Structure 1
Amino acid sequence: MSRPRWVRRPWQVALFGATLFVALAYAAIGVAIWWHAEAVLAQAPKRPADAALVLGSRAFLDGKPHPCLTGRVDTALALAKAGLVKQFVFSGGVDSEDGRTEAFVMRQHAQAAGFAGPMVMESASTSTRLNLSLSRPLLLAAGVRSVVIVSEPYHLWRIERLVRMSGFDRSFDVQYAAAPTSCWRALGPLSKGALREPAAIVNNAFRGFLF
């Protein structure tokens, strides 16, 4: 009697099982990100802060400032209009996809919108972890003691843990503002950034940055 094919080729069964496990784990992280994103969208900052720290992303799309990036700046502008912040710190280095400096593009957008308050640029970071570590001395030098960190909703679960693990929240009173950008409103958890976020979480966790 011949054995079933799956018995004759156990490596295929193992490969299928491993692939299924990875897919389910990735989906579970994605769902957790989605739930957290919805929660932070419903919880706008309540206390005034010294500054808004706006984290960067891809700077340009089809020759125009990327709406995922400018939407984050728009959220900071809304905080300023509401009297919750008086200055901005833009954090983001050179975008590998288009060669633009994210912090510079964010400052341009804020200026075009009429913001006249102080603006500081951190233009060397290439990751969320570096956004925080390289912005810290600039914030301290500017006399900032309380800050609202602004990014898209899917990003904030990881940011909150990086803030705690790095001790960033020991230097500043930290609040968070989820930016409902046009990218998020159009695609939500299916946006490019949100789909890549579980991989970033796994990478940061394996490197000991999150837990």
Structure 2
Amino acid sequence: MKRPRWLRRPWQAALAGVLAGVLLAGVAAYAAIGAFIWWHAETLLAHPPQRPADAALVLGSRAYLDGKPHPCLAGRVDTAVAMARTGLVRQLAFSGGVDSEDGRTEATAMKERAVTAGFAGPMLLEPASTSTRLNLSLSRPLLLAAGVRSVVIVSEPFHLWRIERLVKMSGFDRSFDVQYAAAPTSCWNALGPLSKGALREPAAIVNNAFRGFLF
């Protein structure tokens, strides 16, 4: 009786088993990171900022989708504008450079959204950053020059754990009293941890951790 092919070459079966194990471990790790992000996001949504701050720093993402303001970014700006209306923050700062997906400057798009929403207070623009880490490093001198000493960082819920780590590792929190505001955008409310950004965030965390930015 002829033996199956995999029995004739047992090393191939062993290699396939190892690769399958590695793949399953990777999927499990990715899912675990995603679950932790979701838990942390829900915690921040339940505990919004309480202390008045000099400014809200809104971090950018894709500015437009199908020719219209992207609802994920619009929700971040709307959250900052709402905080300004209640007196929690005095001014708004928008950080984000040219987005490769739509060719628009995120900071400018956020300013336009804030004006449309009725905000008429002072605004700072940081239009050059292309990553979360650069959002913080390039915004710091602008905020300091404007006399800002306390900041509420605004982003979508899934994004904030990585932001917190980057703030600590970069020393951003040594320059400012920092709070965090999770923006309940329509993207998050519709899909939560299954939104596009949330699904990509574990990969960003692994990438940043591997490069020594988080720990």
Tell me the TM-score range normalised by the shorter chain. over 0.9
Give the unaligned 5+ runs of structure 2: none
Matched, 1:197 2:207: no
Larger Rg: 2
Counterpart of 1:188 in structure 2 is 192
Matched, 1:92 2:100: no
List aligned pairs for 1:1-211, cutoff 5 A. Answer: 5=6, 7-9=10-12, 10-211=14-215
Output the TM-score relative to the length of structure 2: 0.95
Equivalent residue of 2:90, what SS? coil
Distance of 1:116 and 1:78 partners within structure 2:
13
CA RMSD of aligned residues (A): 1.4
Distance of 2:195 and 2:160 partners within structure 1:
15
- One-letter code aligned to 1:136: R
Tell me the number of residue pairs that the alignment of Structure 1 and Structure 2 aligns.
Answer: 211
Distance of 1:210 and 1:160 partners within structure 2:
9
Distance of 2:5 and 2:164 partners within structure 1:
50
**How far is 1:40 from its partner?**
0.3
- One-letter code aligned to 1:23: V
**How far is 1:5 from its partner?**
3.6
Distance of 1:66 and 1:58 partners within structure 2:
7
- One-letter code aligned to 2:45: L
- One-letter code aligned to 2:151: V
- One-letter code aligned to 2:103: G
Deviations 1:166-201 (A, max 9, x none): 000000000000000000000000100000000000
**How far is 1:14 from its partner?**
1.1
Deviates more, 1:167-176 or 1:1-10: 1-10
